[in-house]
Structure 1
Amino acid sequence: MLTRRLSLFATLALSLLLVSGVQAADTVRLATTTSTYNSGLLDYLLPKFEEDHPYQIQVIPVGTGKALRLGRDGDVDLVLTHAPAAEKAFVDADYGVEPHGVMYNDFVIVGPSDDPAGIDGGDDATSAFAAVADQGATFISRGDDSGTDKKEKHLWAEAGVTPDFEGFRAAGQGMGEVLKMASELQGYTLTDRGTWLAMKDKLDLEIMVEGDTALFNPYQVILVNPERYDGLNTQGARALAEWLISDEGQDLIDAFRLNDKALFHASAGEKVDPTSAVHESD
């Protein structure tokens, strides 16, 4: 499987590329979430796109907030993110154009098997968050302005909790690293199901809470507005976006499996009702 882990050299090269604004005509810069990266979805999808298209995709895996900032600054050609309110603001401010729903999965709350907060088996995310805070249990937060972090902050607010209790830790890291930390510290965390399924066999954690409609997690692809910036590869970006929402791209997203489990569900052209979204228990 093609690996897309950024080496130190590649990271430095990327920095120079962003600063200089120089871009090869056949390169498409995609800023996306660590969840699509850590799950292995992009390693599965992008080589199939590149086989039939004259473009190479340069993946920049960051939190949704950082991905949208890169788009806002004209440093990438398109974004693939999962924070609907932030994405709407991005498009409404004319930084992004041609938004399309691509797929969805859901978030789950995971934690240690001894479950000190007593939330195992629940389906109410805000009640679970309140219980974790009441017990002062260890909770590892992304703390990185990602889509997951935005969802977590919303859940704390809905629970009426200011997350400054004894066990709260803000990591400022991607989903994979946060899951590792939660496992090592035997704490709770919020994770997208795709990254959880990709990593769960290496973690000493279990799903505690799932199935709440508040945990629904849709993804959109959005082109950066070419009228605002010079040097964008809008033709290549549009080709990738249109392929992701094509029958071929959507079928491949639905076919992507890890340990015989679907990690994402294609949704292009659909108005998905979170109350009927598929929640697959492990």
Structure 2
Amino acid sequence: MRVALSAVLLSLMSLTACAGTDHAAAPSAEKSLILATTTSTQDSGLLDELLPDFTADTGWRVKPLAVGSGQAIELGRRGEADVLLVHSPEAELEFVAEGTAGGRRLVMHNDFVLVGPPDDPAGIRGVPVAEAMRRIATAESGFVSRGDESGTHARETQLWEEITPSGRWYRSTGQGMGATLRVASETSAHTLTDRATYLSQRANLMLEVLNEGDKALLNVYHVIEMTKRAGDRVQPDGAKAFADWIVGPRAQRMIGEFGTEEPLFVPDAGKDESTLGN
């Protein structure tokens, strides 16, 4: 009996030791970072593709907060995010100049497209994007804006140029790209969208790409590391780990291969940004 009991105790001690080893090998609670990013990286499915591999490679777990680029930058400003993945270049440069952020690096690009009803009620196919926006406003053809200070909303505002859209034909959702596309589809209206989110949801939308290819529609993403200057809760080590990984060879290859029908993003780490879209 004593021999048998000793054997059981030894077995339990062995299992406990093994469990402790497994726990030590897993990412710890301390190695957890907050990524503030855009709804387009979430709605396209890119985050689901990248984040498990980042955790496997580095041991850092990621809590993504998918919001508009403006909101993501504000989270960084308040020290409530460790690293940002955003696509609002002018706002990013202003933010970095404030001095609380660290490095800002080029990650990837795709493009924005104007989508709308297949019958093209405003006649915007094949014209420069500025003319397309003017025709939509002149015809008062329905347009749905995100209206959420996102990178997409910022680009839409730039594209209107001298036009101030208003009236029943123009509405804001205050929501992400996926939700805004659904509203545009349901109301037979136009909207500006990143191509990746549109392609990932196209099967469920009554919308077609009506205007594309203009250099003003280039959509560029950067990763921005936060520093302790933004707040004591910021984890610069985690921010650097993510930034280094997403511009590294494995992540860049995954970005370039992401998409079933066609690649949804173009990996750009190490490129001269001024050459993009040429």
- Which TM-score bucket, shorter chain as reference? 0.7 to 0.9
Q: Residue 133 of structure 1: which of 128, 132, 137 is its match?
A: 137
3-state SS of paired residue (2:62) = strand
The reply to whether residue 65 of structure 1 matches residue 70 of structure 2 is yes
| Poorly superposed stretches of 4+, deviation over 3 Å | none
Query: Is the 2:83–2:242 contact (alpha carbons within 8 Å) kept by the matching residues of 1?
Result: no
Q: Residue 51 of structure 1: which of 33, 51, 56 is its match?
A: 56
Counterpart of 1:269 in structure 2 is: 270
Counterpart of 1:145 in structure 2 is: 149
Query: Is the 1:119–1:208 contact (alpha carbons within 8 Å) kept by the matching residues of 2?
Result: yes
**Per-residue CA distance 1:119-138 (angstroms, 9 max, x = gap):** 1233x111100000000110
Q: Report the AA paired with residue 263 of structure 1.
A: L
Number of residue pairs aligned between Structure 1 and Structure 2: 250
Q: Report the AA paired with residue 271 of structure 1.
A: D
Counterpart of 2:159 in structure 1 is: 155
Query: Is the 1:213–1:274 contact (alpha carbons within 8 Å) kept by the matching residues of 2?
Result: no
Distance 2:276 2:113 in 1: 14
Counterpart of 1:225 in structure 2 is: 227
The alignment's C-alpha RMSD in Å is 1.3
**Per-residue CA distance 1:253-272 (angstroms, 9 max, x = gap):** 1111232x100001011013
TM superposition score normalised by structure 2: 0.87
Distance 2:277 2:223 in 1: 23
Counterpart of 1:6 in structure 2 is: none
Over alpha carbons, which structure has the higher Rg? Answer: 2
Counterpart of 1:187 in structure 2 is: 189
Q: Residue 123 of structure 2: which of 115, 118, 124 is its match?
A: 118
Distance 1:211 1:152 in 2: 15
Q: Report the AA paired with residue 50 of structure 2.
A: L
3-state SS of paired residue (2:230) = coil
Query: Is the 1:156–1:162 contact (alpha carbons within 8 Å) kept by the matching residues of 2?
Result: yes
Query: Is the 1:99–1:221 contact (alpha carbons within 8 Å) kept by the matching residues of 2?
Result: yes
1:140 Cα deviation from its structure 2 partner = 0.1
Query: Is the 1:137–1:166 contact (alpha carbons within 8 Å) kept by the matching residues of 2?
Result: no
Query: Is the 1:133–1:165 contact (alpha carbons within 8 Å) kept by the matching residues of 2?
Result: no
1:248 Cα deviation from its structure 2 partner = 1.2
Does the C-alpha gap of structure 1 residues 263 and 108 become closer, same or farther in structure 2, counting only changes over 3 Å? same
Distance 1:228 1:167 in 2: 41
Counterpart of 1:18 in structure 2 is: none
Query: Is the 2:31–2:61 contact (alpha carbons within 8 Å) kept by the matching residues of 1?
Result: yes
Distance 1:165 1:114 in 2: 22
1:54 Cα deviation from its structure 2 partner = 1.5
Query: Is the 1:25–1:233 contact (alpha carbons within 8 Å) kept by the matching residues of 2?
Result: no
3-state SS of paired residue (2:229) = coil
Q: Report the AA paired with residue 91 of structure 1.
A: V
Deviates more, 1:77-86 or 1:220-229: 220-229
Counterpart of 2:9 in structure 1 is: none
Q: Report the AA paired with residue 271 of structure 2.
A: E
Gaps of 5+ in 2: 1-27
1:24 Cα deviation from its structure 2 partner = 4.3
Counterpart of 1:9 in structure 2 is: none
Distance 2:183 2:196 in 1: 18
Query: Is the 1:101–1:219 contact (alpha carbons within 8 Å) kept by the matching residues of 2?
Result: yes
Q: Residue 170 of structure 1: which of 172, 176, 179 is its match?
A: 172
Counterpart of 1:75 in structure 2 is: 80
TM superposition score normalised by structure 1: 0.86
- Higher relative helix content: 2
1:227 Cα deviation from its structure 2 partner = 2.8
The share of aligned pairs that are identical, in percent, is 43
3-state SS of paired residue (1:140) = strand
**Per-residue CA distance 1:72-110 (angstroms, 9 max, x = gap):** 000010110001000001100012111000000000000
Distance 1:150 1:166 in 2: 21
The reply to whether residue 102 of structure 1 matches residue 107 of structure 2 is yes
